[in-house]
Structure 1
Amino acid sequence: MSKRNLRAQAAWVIEQVIDNGQSLATCLPQAQSKLSKPQDKGILAEICYGVMRHLPVLDSQVLACLEKPLKGKKRIIHCLLLAGLYQLKHMRIKQHAVVTETVEATRQLKADGMSGLVNGILRRFCRELDSLQQQSFEDDSRKYLHPRWFIQRLRDAYPDNWQQILDANNQHPPLWLRNNPQHQSRDQYLTLLAEQGIAASAGNNANSLRLHQPMDVTQLPGFDNGAISVQDHSAQWSAYLLEPQAGERVLDACAAPGGKTCHLLETQPELTEVVALDIDDRRLARVQQNLDRIGLNATLIAGDGANPDSWWDGKPFDRILLDAPCSATGVIRRNPDSKWLRRNDDIAALAELQQQILHACWKMLKPGGTLVYATCSVLPEENVSQIKTFLQQQADAMLLTIAQDTPDNPGWQLLPQADGGDGFYYAKLQKQTVS
């Protein structure tokens, strides 16, 4: 794609997601690389993420202004209108600037003949903005800004608080950091932030802290040398729950991008070895980057967690952290495009894969060893149901108590909170010796 203004870039990204099934994580960086100003890159990200959060409402309002839907090569103009409407409704950009720049984008998208249509619709939006802001919807997808299948699954699983989960998903996520205790205590780092005028507060585990305002984390004191890292509060529980001990060999299965690998080594620097496994060797490059920044060492292996015979050396692990592939329904607020990329039928396939990896990892665990099963999902099919099935099938597996574990409700389900952590699930299992 040739160099374009940021509204044209936004239209391209939105089209890649909603029509071609690409993720924001894949196509947004490509579009940002076409822009030279950091401010423009930030505006582009806000537009693209915002459109994904509000897609059903924006889509219906754009369609209401069209005599007939835009199809084929004209679809990108539909996406451009989504970007324009989001800016008018949700961003502090002057209306005339939004209209002018969005109309200009039609020329850079080689759709000059559509500039009049775009101009007319955006100006209509400007006139009717108050009524658009007050518009209410009976349709669940537009009312709650999620696909209907997911809303129904939440209703079934959480009859008392499903609406709160949806509301949390629609918020901008807080920026959580993980303090490295090998550099300083969390209180010392909070003091350092306060001295630089950066407001932050402590979380409820040993090293988590939340910035009150988002910022470029590379500008944080100590970021370059690993004194601090970005990691959601809920995700930080994995290392504490696994409780690695000095001299042990630990497997971090499905390790990329490496936050948990690094946290394990920060928590217990006297581990004999940490093996970071991921099926995608390209993603392992990100793990190595994180290790290098902090100054840590791990053994990186590209391999399939469901098929250890293809890579495992046969030496059992003392502890295994299995952050299993999942629907990522607990981190929708960080990845709002996933609402529209994920399908209802995906859940059963993911659950089957999770069970395969869980059984495969169990074979690599020493008798007496500990395995922590984790997902960033809020769906019982991937969490509680998985562990209940596993405990029924695996005679040497014993559930260790985390919070309110019971045989009927094993594990610890964390739900997304507006100023708290993401949705996450943990279950802690110990391998028994069966006589």
Structure 2
Amino acid sequence: MTDSPVKAPGTAPGLSVLLQHTAEAVRQVQQGRSLAEGLPDVPAPLRPAVQALTFHALRHLGLARALVDRLADRSPEPVVQALLVAAVALLVAPADGVRYAPHTVVNQAVEAARQQRRLQRQAGFINACLRRLLREQTDLMAEVADDPPARHHHPRWWIDRVRRDHPQDWAAVLQASQEPGPMTLRVNRRRIDRSAYALRLAEAGMASLPTGEDGLVLARPCAVDSLPGWTDGLVSVQDAAAQMAAGLLLQGQDWGPQHRVLDACAAPGGKTAHLLERADVQVLALDADADRARRIGDTLQRLQLQARAQVKVADAADTAAWWDGQPFDAILLDAPCTASGIVRRHPDVRWLRREADVAALAAQQRRLLEALWPLLRPGGRLLYATCSVFRAEGEDQVQAFLARHTDARQHPSAGHLLPGAGRPVGQFNDNPPGGHDGFFYARLDKPAA
């Protein structure tokens, strides 16, 4: 998902209609349903504007909920609270690209309630709460200023963990999650040179700047099908941090068709494709979910790389079910994680996760590492990656693995990459325009016998 512009006031559809759908999306997130599941239910013509308003509400959910708690004498039912949250977020933190007049937000929120049978009786209550906010906003903001979720826009446990894991950078990490991530492209070097593609973008009126080895950061996001050569496989959308995987796994060695590479948790296929764009290797791409595995095939087909990879539906940790007994020269393990490093692109993640998820996912990561390490030949390498800023899913996980495996050596690699334009941790110093997502990388080498 990428951020989309909000339609200006006075254009169809009206703000009241957008607020109805935004409130429903916020309510679902607060009850545990992701935006990836909920937004497709929104009518297609409304979806871009509703997504933008929902992203905005979720980026300010901590503050908006704290204010609603003070505005309401009683705890409103979830559907009412969600509508109040959506309106309050617009009143105290105007959305990028459009500023609604305060009275417009109040009137349209009340109208949104009146248009829904289940909320008609709550219209007066919503009106009273929002008008009180307009009258007392300075005092109310002062009351919540020291509340961590209201101030930093994340759950308290998340704030505490980031502060403990990154004591020098924690505030910058949290702030970076509030900023929309740039649209970053990866040029398919098998099809076109990066500078040549940048020229094609310029000819189409799209300004860009280079990042990394194959990336271009767009000055403004756009629909993917408007990108020159998209359907012909000239380019993909992939964050600058995610683009590092192929280079870190392949660096320092000549690769050819005799080399076998495993992409263990491959969907939707961006890293699989990047490996094939950069090297003539055999790639086996796995994913445990059949629908997600089909996305790998779709990605490879669009990039005209499908003939050079095998895709299987399998749990990578259940090696007896899929491994043919032949060792791999390299393994990419982009392990399931909390996604705490990509919150700027997925603002619902911070509100969907629970503190217990960190330990549960760390256990799953350990299970995958233990299962895949024996499949690596002596002299081979494994790149462990997560899109997380939590040390439990990064450096702590790797150090525990090294303590258990005396046959593993950690090669200098990126370590923890902090999101946005904050100071990276480790040996990664490239800072692309608009920054990068939060990631962790560690390359583990198995010495030759």
**TM-score for both structures, normalised by structure 1:** 0.89
Shift of residue 134, structure 1, vs aligned partner: 7.5
CA distance in 1, matches of 2:361, 2:167: 24
Q: Which amino acid aligns with 1:416?
A: P
CA distance in 1, matches of 2:269, 2:137: 44
Superimposed CA distance per residue, residues 253-312 of structure 1 (whole angstroms, 9 cap, x where no aligned partner): 1111111111111112x22x2111111111112222212221221211111122111222
Shift of residue 374, structure 1, vs aligned partner: 0.5
Q: Find the counterpart in structure 1 of residue 85 from structure 2.
A: 82
Q: Find the counterpart in structure 1 of residue 424 from structure 2.
A: none
Q: Tell me if the contact between 2:260 and 2:328 (Cα under 8 Å) persists in the aligned partners.
A: yes
Q: Find the counterpart in structure 1 of residue 63 from structure 2.
A: 57
1:14 to 12, 21, 26: 26
| 1:337 to 1:420, Cα distance in 2 relative to 1, 3 A | same
Q: Does 1:234 align with 2:245?
A: no
Q: Find the counterpart in structure 2 of residue 420 from structure 1.
A: 435
The 5-angstrom pairing of residues 108-127 of structure 1 reads: 108-110=115-117, 111-127=119-135
Q: Which amino acid aligns with 2:378?
A: P
Q: Tell me if the contact between 1:249 and 1:319 (Cα under 8 Å) persists in the aligned partners.
A: yes
Q: Which amino acid aligns with 1:224?
A: T
Q: Which amino acid aligns with 2:202?
A: A
Superimposed CA distance per residue, residues 32-80 of structure 1 (whole angstroms, 9 cap, x where no aligned partner): xx24x2xx32220111111111111101112222120113xxx201101
CA distance in 2, matches of 1:171, 1:186: 27
Q: Tell me if the contact between 2:57 and 2:90 (Cα under 8 Å) persists in the aligned partners.
A: no
SS in 1 for 2:200: helix
1:275 to 261, 264, 284: 284
Shift of residue 396, structure 1, vs aligned partner: 2.0
Shift of residue 87, structure 1, vs aligned partner: 2.6
Q: Does 1:217 align with 2:227?
A: no
1:296 to 283, 297, 305: 305
2:294 to 285, 299, 303: 285
CA distance in 1, matches of 2:171, 2:102: 33
CA distance in 2, matches of 1:133, 1:393: 50
CA distance in 1, matches of 2:191, 2:136: 55
CA distance in 1, matches of 2:304, 2:136: 55
Superimposed CA distance per residue, residues 213-236 of structure 1 (whole angstroms, 9 cap, x where no aligned partner): 222222111112111111000000
Q: Find the counterpart in structure 2 of residue 45 from structure 1.
A: 51
Q: Which amino acid aligns with 1:167?
A: Q
| Structure 1 vs Structure 2 CA RMSD | 2.0
| 1:100 to 1:414, Cα distance in 2 relative to 1, 3 A | same
SS in 2 for 1:234: coil
CA distance in 1, matches of 2:140, 2:214: 44
| 1:398 to 1:140, Cα distance in 2 relative to 1, 3 A | same
Q: Does 1:315 align with 2:326?
A: yes
CA distance in 1, matches of 2:224, 2:392: 35
SS in 1 for 2:302: helix
CA distance in 2, matches of 1:97, 1:258: 44
2:146 to 138, 145, 148: 138
Q: Does 1:102 align with 2:109?
A: yes
Shift of residue 130, structure 1, vs aligned partner: 6.5
Runs of 5+ in structure 1 lacking a partner? 404-411
Q: Which amino acid aligns with 2:47?
A: K
SS in 2 for 1:209: strand
Q: Find the counterpart in structure 2 of residue 245 from structure 1.
A: 255
Q: Which moved more, 1:231-240 or 1:211-220?
A: 211-220
Q: Find the counterpart in structure 1 of residue 3 from structure 2.
A: none
Q: Find the counterpart in structure 1 of residue 76 from structure 2.
A: 70
Q: Which moved more, 1:148-157 or 1:76-85?
A: 148-157
CA distance in 2, matches of 1:215, 1:199: 11
Shift of residue 7, structure 1, vs aligned partner: 1.8
CA distance in 2, matches of 1:222, 1:346: 40
Q: Find the counterpart in structure 2 of residue 409 from structure 1.
A: none
SS in 2 for 1:330: coil
Equivalent residue pairs, number: 411
CA distance in 1, matches of 2:200, 2:47: 29
CA distance in 2, matches of 1:130, 1:285: 52
Q: Does 1:176 align with 2:184?
A: yes
The 5-angstrom pairing of residues 320-331 of structure 1 reads: 320-331=331-342
Shift of residue 101, structure 1, vs aligned partner: 3.5
Shift of residue 202, structure 1, vs aligned partner: 0.8
Q: Which amino acid aligns with 1:235?
A: A
Q: Tell me if the contact between 1:137 and 1:143 (Cα under 8 Å) persists in the aligned partners.
A: yes
Q: Tell me if the contact between 1:55 and 1:145 (Cα under 8 Å) persists in the aligned partners.
A: yes
Q: Find the counterpart in structure 1 of residue 412 from structure 2.
A: 401
Q: Which moved more, 1:187-196 or 1:316-325?
A: 187-196
Q: Does 1:208 align with 2:211?
A: no
Shift of residue 126, structure 1, vs aligned partner: 4.4
CA distance in 2, matches of 1:153, 1:159: 10
Superimposed CA distance per residue, residues 373-424 of structure 1 (whole angstroms, 9 cap, x where no aligned partner): 1011111211112111212222221222225xxxxxxxx2111124211111
Shift of residue 365, structure 1, vs aligned partner: 1.4
SS in 2 for 1:164: helix
Q: Tell me if the contact between 1:250 and 1:275 (Cα under 8 Å) persists in the aligned partners.
A: yes
SS in 2 for 1:387: helix
Shift of residue 320, structure 1, vs aligned partner: 0.7
SS in 2 for 1:181: coil
| 1:10 to 1:289, Cα distance in 2 relative to 1, 3 A | same
Q: Which amino acid aligns with 1:188?
A: A
SS in 1 for 2:291: helix
Runs of 5+ in structure 2 lacking a partner? 1-15, 422-433
Q: Which amino acid aligns with 1:148?
A: R
SS in 2 for 1:402: strand
CA distance in 2, matches of 1:109, 1:267: 54
Q: Which moved more, 1:80-89 or 1:90-99?
A: 90-99
CA distance in 2, matches of 1:220, 1:124: 47
Q: Find the counterpart in structure 1 of residue 427 from structure 2.
A: none
